[in-house]
Amino acid sequence: MNYVVELRNHLLELRDFHIRLAITAGFVMLLFCLLLTRFFYLQVLRSEHYTTLAEANRISIMPIVPNRGLIFDRNGEILAQNHTTYALEIIPNQVPNLESTLDELATVIEISPEDRRRFNKLRRESTRFSSLPIRMRLSDVEVASFAANRYRFPGMEIKARLLRHYPHAELLSHVIGYIGRISDKDLEQLENNNALENYRGSLHIGRIGIEQSYEKELHGITGFEQVETDAAGRHVRTLSRTPPVAGNDLTLSLDLKLQQAAESAFGDYRGALVAMDPRNGEILAFVSKPGFDPNLFIDGIDHVNWRLLNESIDKPLNNRALRGVYPPGSTFKPFMALAGLELGKRTADYSINDPGYFSLPGSSHRFRDWRPNGHGRVNLHKSLVISCDTYYYTLANDLGINNIFNFIGQFGFGRKTEIDIPGEVTGLLPSSDWKKKRFNQNWFPGDTISVGIGQGYNLATPVQLTFATMLLANNGIAYRPHFVKQIQDNKVGHLHENKPSQMYTLKLKKENVARVRNALVDVTRPGGTAAKAGANADYTFAGKTGTSQVINIKQGERYVASKIQERHRDHALFIAYAPAEDPQIALTVLVENGGSGGSTAAPIAREVLDYFLLGKTPEPMLAEKANNRAH
Amino acid sequence: MQRCSPLQGPALPLIVPGLVSGLPHTQPRPTTVFSIMIEFKRLWHYFTRYIDNFLLAGLFLLMLVGLVVLYSASGGNFGRVSGQILNMVVALIIMWLVANIPLQQIMRLALPLYIVGIILLIGVAFFGEIQNGARRWLNLGITRIQPSEMLKIAVPLMMAWYFDKTEITLRLRDYAGAALILLLPVLLIARQPDLGTALLITASGFYVLYFAGLSWRVMAGLLVTAGGILPLFWSFAMHDYQRRRVLTMLDPSQDPLGAGYHIIQSSIAIGSGGVAGKGWQNGTQSQLDFLPEQSTDFIFAVFSEEFGLIGNGLLLLLYLVIIGRCLIITANAPTQFTRLVAGSITLTFFTYVFVNMGMVSGILPVVGIPLPLISYGGTSLVTMLLGFGILMSIQTHPKLVKT
């Protein structure tokens, strides 16, 4: 290659350089103008939009959960209260490695595998909450040792919370119920009721019993706080505050002492007792034994306790008084008798001859009386006092199933009593229509016979029996059974009486009712089926014993209690009211596998009545008290 | 533009002879307050004879703004501010030292500096410490250094030296040679990987090529080629996180809690600042920690939120004044070497400002580039002031007749 090596022309280069420098200056200006345009766009044109976003970043609305309303008995004894406890809460989003952090945490305060399991369950169920408790009920020492190590655990906080506490635990579990963590299912329901807003921040909701049915009263109104928060969600300062309104306090008609008396009168028996004031429908005692400790459920029950409760043969979770259905047995007879009188199928003087059984014409099947050889001549009065079965076989046959259904239905059998706790069942008062619907079969005359003595298809709950007894005791006024006597409204600050509501009144002839009632008084007197329980009472009380079969006894066999397994023994029943002339209390006692009503159920009723009317403390309760004092 | 130095100015008496070596001795005179003042003035002049006062004033103003914003951005933490003051003092001393080095010396340093830099980069490639998935640091036993930072200065120096040495009219092959000087360290840095620094060094090298007179046609050709390579680069050379950053810049709402969070939050900060700003220490986005990296790369969002559009305008003006001064220095630079170096340093400084502000305000992807003299951090401050030291040296040393 041959070309001339040209030396650089520095002057030319310098000129070119200066031109390029000028272009550079223009370029710089241009790009700065571009930046300025961008700033103008952000800070002038879109300023409002970004200001809104900045405010939304900064300000958050924090709910202030109201204190849940308290529950008292009729004498002001507290049944459900709120305790201040300290809980350690975790905001899972702010903890990068939860498992290892929990391991580390366990070196500072005790974290059991059970706590972890429960925490993980909460995480799965309550996606809505950012902060979840890992440990509840921290001791002062634990609070202090966590506080000292707090820097090691970002995203964890000690929170003071009011924890629901049920001081009487098992005694009232089936009445008060309990509160549990709000689940996603609850949230759905709250949303449908347009109540979700008021539950922001709330952790618990009433699960069963009064806690559930009076949730609206007990919850209160959630307050709000406008807070400035930083990017980590930490509270910087409060901008404004709307205080919450505590839930309304409830005063129940329940008498705690009476409840305790009733509970202890049962001794080791399982069963139910419902006592009501026949003058207004107030529930005075409501026992379903055994109960359970509702405190276990508040923050999710651990699986050990859950298995103990759920798999127990005694079924402590089952509310026997409200949901347990039993054949009413002979306690059905007073209502049958009244049906006979009112519908003109029987007079007081009419009597039958009882050979110990009843057979339908043209049938060899024998409906047996409980007494093998019968009671001889039996009129209405005697039929109740000695609980003659044959009398009611004939009566049922004469009335026919649909008359029984229509008349006795008025006493609340086969329908809900509308008591103010949830979960009530209807029981069963059979009719021909029902059988057609249920089994697509015609009703046979033979089906009617056992209905007459409260067996057959008949099923009733202790609450229903008490409701029916109330109607006998007050000559036919149906008060709605209820627990809540007063509501202390914490919003306006006044006391609201829950007035008894009359659902309906039965039109019954006074003399007919009086006849039945007279007979029921004689049941507790010498010669009656509850004579032993009624002995030496300082008041008159009326009652009716009953025995409901758990297993069928075959034709020609006899029921011998000692030969039958305990769990297959008959349930003992007793309905009663007292004082007979001016009833202040009507009750039902059901003793599961208790045998005969007269021997096990009636004495329990007697003890409860003695306590209620005379203030006499039952023996087992005295023994327990002495025991407590000795400790 | 020549400056008076005590060497050339009228001889003034000195009270402590030999205090500063090299000062001429004169007859001692009686000490008075007045004479002490005069002595101090003399000393001051002596020490600042290679300092460009105009530029220095601009830099001081900028650093003052930086400290004010830093105080707010760190939530009133004076520890951070005093740390930054210390960084500034160190950087200013380095700037002073560099400003005092005559141009010939600086020129002589170009080649060794470049070679040492390349060796260190190779060292990093083999023995570097891995941090956040990138191999950028070299542990020398005494201290850890990041050689790529030093190349930011060494590459333009080397390229300018290369062009200065070429006696004949520059041909394309000369530019290609300069491009090789540039490409070697850029590739080494890109595979660390440190894409931000690699791009910045590419830019500073490109500015040298540009000022050296690379023909417009070639530059247009390069632009087209770059446009063609970009898709290939996207699919083969870029890391996932880098791709994500670009995508996020195009639409931050795609990933509001991840990569988009930075841009969304800084846009909110800037936008909510409005015209007048929320006031010093009153920016909610910064004070409540919604802004990420708020004392380093995103400090401009803090400034913008608290001082608004007016503050932004004034800050841009201040940068513009400094850049303008640097351009004047560049225009007056005596040799090709100094012209190229000064031009490259000036434009690199501008690039920092533009890329940082563009990134924070959401018109450029998020790359880890600080806002010069305002972001917290010593390394970039030192590099930056070292560059200004060179500019001052170019401006203040006697211009040798070479042109």
Chain A nearest CA to B229, separation (Å): 25
How does strand A78-90 pair with strand A132-135?
antiparallel
Chain A residues in contact with B403 by the CB 8 A cut-off are 10, 14
Instruction: Check whether B15 has a pLDDT greater than 50.
Output: no
For position A174, what pLDDT does the model report? 93
- Residue A430 — φ and ψ, nearest 5°? -75, 155
Q: What is the DSSP letter of A462?
A: H
Does the residue B358 lie in any domain? yes
Q: Do B358 and A38 touch (CB under 8 A)?
A: yes
- Listed in sequence order, the DSSP H helices in A343-461 are 380-385, 389-399, 401-409, 432-439, 445-451
C-alpha A80/C-alpha A69 separation (Å) is 9
Does the residue B35 lie in any domain? no
For position B139, what pLDDT does the model report? 77
Chain B nearest CA to A157, separation (Å): 20
- Residue A87 — φ and ψ, nearest 5°? -125, 145
For position A623, what pLDDT does the model report? 67
CA A182 from chain center: how many Å? 16
Tokens of B160: 């300018």
Q: State the Cα angle at B13 between B8 and B14, rounded to 5°.
A: 100
Residue A231 near residue A257 (C-beta atoms within 8 A): no
Instruction: Check whether A485 has a pLDDT greater than 50.
Output: yes
Q: Do A232 and B308 touch (CB under 8 A)?
A: no
- Listed in sequence order, the DSSP H helices in B166-298 are 172-190, 195-211, 216-232, 240-250, 260-273, 284-287
Asked which of A332-336, A576-580, B50-54, B132-136 is least confident by mean pLDDT, the reply is B132-136
Asked which of A338-347, B13-22, B315-324, B382-391 is least confident by mean pLDDT, the reply is B13-22
Q: Do B309 and A39 touch (CB under 8 A)?
A: yes
Q: Specify the number of domains making up chain B.
A: 1
Provide mean pLDDT across the span A340-363: 91
For position B342, what pLDDT does the model report? 96
| A148 touching chain B per CB within 8 A | no
Does the residue B75 lie in any domain? yes
Interface probe with B: pick from A17, A27, A229, A230, most Cβ of B within 10 Å = A17
For position A35, what pLDDT does the model report? 96
CA distances from A429 to A271, A412, A433, A458 (A): 22, 9, 11, 5
Residue A461 near residue A569 (C-beta atoms within 8 A): no
| A23 touching chain B per CB within 8 A | no
C-alpha A448/C-alpha A363 separation (Å) is 14
Residue A453 near residue A393 (C-beta atoms within 8 A): yes
Q: What is the DSSP letter of A245?
A: B
Residue B156 near residue B204 (C-beta atoms within 8 A): yes
* Residues 29-68 in A contacting B (C-alpha not used; CB under 8 Å): 29, 31-32, 34-36, 38-40, 42-44, 46-47, 49-51, 53-55, 57-58
Which candidate from B272, B327, B354 shows the least CB-CB separation from A24?
B327
Highest mean pLDDT among A229-233, A521-525, B173-177: A521-525
Which candidate from B265, B284, B316 shows the least CB-CB separation from A32?
B316
- Scanning every residue of chain A, which has its alpha carbon at the shortest distance from the alpha carbon of B314? A36
Straight-line distance from the first to the last Cα atom of chain B, in angstroms, rounded to the nearest whole number? 16
Does the residue B234 lie in any domain? yes
- Residue B339's pLDDT band, with cuts at 50, 70 and 90, is very high
Q: Do B288 and A57 touch (CB under 8 A)?
A: yes
Does the residue B327 lie in any domain? yes
Instruction: Check whether B26 has a pLDDT greater than 70.
Output: no
| A495 touching chain B per CB within 8 A | no
Question: Residue A153: CB partners within 8 Å, gap ≥ 6?
Answer: A95, A101, A104, A105, A146
* Burial of B33 per CB tally in 10 Å (0-12, 13-18, 19+): exposed
Spot the catalytic one: A131, A253, A330, A450.
Answer: A330
C-alpha A407/C-alpha A507 separation (Å) is 11
Whether the pTM exceeds 0.90: the reply is: no
Domains of chain A, earliest start first: 63-252 (3.90.1310.10), 256-302+319-485+493-625 (3.40.710.10)
Residue A442 near residue A435 (C-beta atoms within 8 A): yes
Q: Do A36 and B358 touch (CB under 8 A)?
A: no
Q: Do A17 and B339 touch (CB under 8 A)?
A: yes
Q: Kindly report the number of other CB atoms within 10 A of residue A603's CB atom.
A: 21
Give tens-digit pLDDT for A192-209.
Answer: 888 888 888 888 899 899
Q: Position of tokens 């202030």?
A: A64
C-alpha A48/C-alpha A30 separation (Å) is 27
Does the residue B3 lie in any domain? no
Q: Of A290, A280, A319, give the one whose Cα is nearest residue A486.
A: A280
CA distances from A235 to A84, A127, A131, A290, A401 (A): 22, 22, 14, 47, 71
| A10 touching chain B per CB within 8 A | yes
Q: Do B168 and A8 touch (CB under 8 A)?
A: yes
* Residues pairing with A576 in the sheet: A543, A587
- Residue A45's pLDDT band, with cuts at 50, 70 and 90, is very high
Q: Of A376, A380, A354, A378, give the one whose Cα is nearest residue A367.
A: A354
Q: Do B316 and A43 touch (CB under 8 A)?
A: no
Does the residue B144 lie in any domain? yes
* Burial of A564 per CB tally in 10 Å (0-12, 13-18, 19+): middle
For position A277, what pLDDT does the model report? 95
Instruction: Check whether B126 has a pLDDT greater than 80.
Output: yes
Q: What is the DSSP letter of A443?
A: P
For position B206, what pLDDT does the model report? 93
Give tens-digit pLDDT for A534-548.
Answer: 888 889 999 999 988
What is the ipTM for the molecules in this complex? 0.88
CA torsion B259→B262→B263→B264, rounded to 10°? 100
Interface probe with B: pick from A42, A229, A239, most Cβ of B within 10 Å = A42
Q: Of A384, A321, A330, give the one whose Cα is nearest residue A542.
A: A384
For position A387, what pLDDT does the model report? 92
The two most distant CA atoms of chain A are separated, in Å, by 153
Does the residue B291 lie in any domain? yes
Chain B nearest CA to A97, separation (Å): 18
Q: What is the DSSP letter of B23?
A: P
Domain range for B121 = 50-396
Bond prior to A316 in cis (omega within 30° of 0) = no
C-alpha B294/C-alpha A321 separation (Å) is 67
For position A605, what pLDDT does the model report? 93
Top-confidence residue, B247 or A254:
A254
Give tens-digit pLDDT for B362-400.
Answer: 888 877 889 999 999 888 899 999 999 999 999 998 765
> Is A364 part of the annotated catalytic residue set?
no
